[in-house]
């Protein structure tokens, strides 16, 4: 269960980071005096990108670790019910 929570938190962190990156690009597009027709992601802008990459990588790593632990977990062995002696 906790590994599924880790996977969900990793996805949320990576998704929120990407959404923030997109929102920043949309804001920059709207601030242009000439305006813009569509939002494009500026991958060459390292000043802003360096703030988003670490949290995106952390989200992916948390998700991957949770997935790895979830797949590598040991199955729970259940005892067979014991019969009472007659």
Q: What is the per-residue pLDDT for 44?
A: 80
Taking the CB of residue 38, how many other CB atoms lie within 10 A of it? 6
Q: Are 40 and 25 in contact (CB under 8 A)?
A: yes
Q: Look up residue 32 and give its DSSP letter.
A: S
Q: What is the per-residue pLDDT for 61?
A: 96
Q: What is the per-residue pLDDT for 12?
A: 96
How many angstroms separate the CA atoms of 77 and 62, rounded? 28
Report pTM.
0.72
How many angstroms separate the CA atoms of 24 and 26, rounded? 5
Tens digit of pLDDT per residue, the chain (86 long)?
Answer: 788 899 999 999 999 999 998 888 888 877 777 777 777 777 787 887 888 899 999 999 999 999 998 888 767 667 767 777 66
């Amino acid at each position: 269960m906790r590994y599924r929570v880790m996977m969900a938190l990793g996805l949320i962190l990576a998704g929120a980071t990407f959404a923030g990156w997109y929102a920043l690009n949309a804001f920059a597009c709207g601030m242009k005096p000439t305006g813009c027709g569509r939002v494009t992601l500026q991958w060459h802008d390292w000043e802003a990108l360096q703030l988003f990459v670490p949290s995106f990588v952390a989200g992916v790593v948390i998700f991957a670790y949770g997935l790895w632990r979830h797949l590598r977990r040991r199955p729970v062995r259940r005892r067979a019910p014991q019969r009472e002696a007659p």
